[in-house]
Structure 1
Amino acid sequence: MPKRASPVLHRDDPDKAPLVGHVKVTREDWLNVARDVLVSGGVAEVKVLALGERLQVSRSSFYWYFKSRKHLLEALLDDWEERNTQTIILACEKQTDNITQATCEFFRCFIDPDLFDQGLDFAVREWSRRDGAVRQRIDAADKARVGALTNMFERHDFDPNEAEVRARILYYMQLGYHALEVREPMQERLERLDWYLECFTGVKHAPEDIESYRNFSLSKVADR
């Protein structure tokens, strides 16, 4: 898994509007740093005082945006769902000409860290081992993701039972791929793409069906 870059604070981001008055950090800054700590150290390390020290602000700034640490943790879970579950659902709902193109849209989420934060996903899963309420949210997210994939297959004329099984195979494989922290050059991965797609969908595809995805994948490697 690639090393995570430290979050850029609002005050240090030239693309953001300047802060005014006595405001030094925003709610987004608190969330970004809390997310970074959650991924790197686990939920036990997400502490208000420690976050404030990283942000170089007092705890009073925190209570301007959040009622309590519990409120912050709930916001982190909402943020995780928005970043990692909604993006998958939206990818699966995209209009495509065939199941090959649809599957490539799903794959894009796991190539682009802006569409799926794998470190965050596994940090929340680790958190869920110690918190039953978080476990329920994980279970609901997995159900929603598999459901979106199932609908994707059904939309391309797969039998409902076959659609669900193929959705499960595709989803569990992709998460397992990241859980094992498989390291391989993108070009090597793309050399297997034709076989992956045929195995996952049971359908032979035309080269033009995957050209856009190949270019997208290579561009993401070039950006790193």
Structure 2
Amino acid sequence: MVERKRLTASDWTAAALDALGRGGLAAVAVEPIAARLGTTKGSFYWHFSNRDALLEAALLRWERVHTEEIIALVDTDPDPHSRLRHLMTLTLAPTTTADRPGHRVLLALQASASHPLVAPVFARVTQRRLDYVTGLFTASGFPPEEARRRSLLAYTAYLGHTNLADASPELVPVGAEQRDYVDAVVATLTRR
């Protein structure tokens, strides 16, 4: 008899987030995720009351890992300009959405942004990201209104890049060209 590994709620949540990125909301289904994890639905019900609870946990994980942890990482840089460059490098670096699971999830969530469980998390994450980038521009000496406009421009550059990397990855710069691209984006965003 083969002993199965005892799965945690975190295992299920990670698998749900992966499924979300691969196939959208419809892919967050208990039986296929259980099969991928090599377990039964009984394991799922040990940790979650229903699919919505799993989806909520996956959305919170996405928020934590792909927003809060990125911000914490970027905040280790010494000055606002370095933080902005680091952030843009992280967000504009992938050549395909397969390179960045968080980008795949973002695309899936954009397509489902009106879903009652997705909408509040998606809005909160978007606002948090915009507020953070606005703070970087403010700390760099831009007036609040200008900092906000520049944060919107930076965020739309990220969203556009993510969509381009998904639809036409061959058009996304790589290697030295990618570094030059990030430099150009940061120079444009910070030009006075």
Match of 1:139 in 2: 123
> For the Cα contact (< 8 Å) 1:85–1:145, is it kept in 2?
yes
Letter matched to residue 151 of structure 2: A
Would you say how many aligned residue pairs link Structure 1 and Structure 2? 181
Offset at residue 133 of structure 1 (A): 4.0
Match of 1:177 in 2: 161
Q: Within the alignment, does 1:75 sit opposite 2:57 as a pair?
A: yes
TM-score normalised according to structure 1 size: 0.71
Offset at residue 94 of structure 1 (A): 4.3
The 2-side partners of 1:54 and 1:115 are apart by: 20
| Structural mapping, 1:119-138, within 5 Å | 119-129=104-114, 131-138=115-122
Q: 3-state DSSP class of the match of 1:25?
A: coil
Residues 94-142 of structure 1 show CA distances to partners (whole Å, capped at 9, x for unaligned) of 453352x12112124323799972111112222224x144223212211
| Structural mapping, 1:23-172, within 5 Å | 23-91=5-73, 93-94=75-76, 96-97=78-79, 99=81, 101-110=82-91, 111=93, 117-129=102-114, 131-172=115-156
- Unpaired stretches in structure 2, ≥5 consecutive residues: 166-170
Shift in CA distance, 163/76, structure 1 to aligned 2, threshold 3 Å: same
Offset at residue 37 of structure 1 (A): 1.6
Offset at residue 93 of structure 1 (A): 4.1
> What is the percentage of aligned positions where both structures have the same residue?
27
Shift in CA distance, 115/177, structure 1 to aligned 2, threshold 3 Å: closer
Shift in CA distance, 74/171, structure 1 to aligned 2, threshold 3 Å: same
Shift in CA distance, 27/45, structure 1 to aligned 2, threshold 3 Å: same
Shift in CA distance, 193/38, structure 1 to aligned 2, threshold 3 Å: closer
Residues 174-213 of structure 1 show CA distances to partners (whole Å, capped at 9, x for unaligned) of 111111214322211213344322211016xxxxxxxxxx
> For the Cα contact (< 8 Å) 1:92–1:149, is it kept in 2?
no
The answer to which structure has the higher helix fraction is: 2
The 1-side partners of 2:80 and 2:113 are apart by: 36
The 2-side partners of 1:91 and 1:55 are apart by: 30
Letter matched to residue 124 of structure 1: L
The 1-side partners of 2:159 and 2:189 are apart by: 15
Residues 135-190 of structure 1 show CA distances to partners (whole Å, capped at 9, x for unaligned) of 23212211111111111111122111111111111111111111121432221121
Letter matched to residue 107 of structure 1: M
Shift in CA distance, 143/96, structure 1 to aligned 2, threshold 3 Å: same
> For the Cα contact (< 8 Å) 2:34–2:40, is it kept in 1?
yes
Alignment RMSD? 2.5
Offset at residue 23 of structure 1 (A): 4.4
